[in-house]
Amino acid sequence: MARRWPENLWIVRHGQSAGNVARDAADEAALDRIAIHGRDVDVALSALGKEQAAALGQWFAQSSDQPDVVFASPYQRALQTASLVQHAGGMEQIPVVADERLREKEFGILDGYTLSGVRRHFPEQAEIRHVMGKFYHRPPGGESWCDVILRLRSLLDTVVLHHADRNVLIVGHQVVVLCLRYILEAMSERQILEIDAAGDVANCSVTHYRRDDNTSDHLSLVRYNYVVPVEQVAVEVTRAPDPPVAARG
């Protein structure tokens, strides 16, 4: 039986977080560790990240299409983004559903290390990742991209089952945006890694899919990494990777 997708599906990366700022500082100082205290799940938005999220909410307020439901990663920075979009967009009546399947990729023993720090402290993992590639490499205690994709396939089943014909907004993380593209567009490993290598997913950028017509079971990509909602209110656009730099290479 054919799937019935939402009418519109928007996928948004959270606004700039304190972790993004700390990662940039660690890179600039050539440090091995990123100065993040406590759990990654509790890292909040920066002041700029809050402005970005509010700008996105204003953009939705001016749009002819608005979300009927929001799914968000349970990480603090994603929930804050969803809430700010909701309030700035005048959408307080729509539900925000925290879903653990949208959480950040788990980095295990490499969590909090810069790329240079991984090479210095975990040279065997750096070599394994070099051989296997970032798509399949699973650090001890962590996840590969394939692991993230598996849980996101389950999430999309939920979206189709309960929210067909509606407008759905997903707020997550950089790897979530990329892995959802991989699933929705039936990409190969090479195709999604080429997109990843071309540039980071901007904070509060919009990736938008629209159902082809009222009877179609196919979603078409309308735009990817769209930053006009942030730019149009003169808020700075940021594109830093998420804190564990070992995710990139």
- Binding positions are 77
Residue found under tokens 């089952």: 161
Indicate the pairing of strand 167-172 with strand 69-72.
parallel
Report CA torsion sign: 151, 175, 159, 84. Answer: positive
Q: What is the CA radius of gyration of the chain?
A: 18
Residue indicated by tokens 């509790």: 42
Side-chain-side CA neighbours of residue 46 (13 Å): 20
Residues in contact with 215: Cβ distance below 8 Å, sequence separation at least 6, in sequence order: none
The set of residues, in sequence order, having a beta carbon less than 8 Å from that of 180 and lying 6+ positions away, is 11, 152, 156, 170, 172, 207
Burial profile 150-169: b = 16 or more Cβ within 10 angstroms, e = fewer: ebbeebbeebeeebeeebbb
Backbone region of residue 16 per phi and psi (left: phi > 0; alpha: psi in -120 to 50; beta: other values): beta
Helices (H) and strands (E) in the chain, counts: 9, 6
Binding site as annotated, residues for substrate = 77
Give the number of other Cβ atoms within 10 Å of residue 210's Cβ.
18
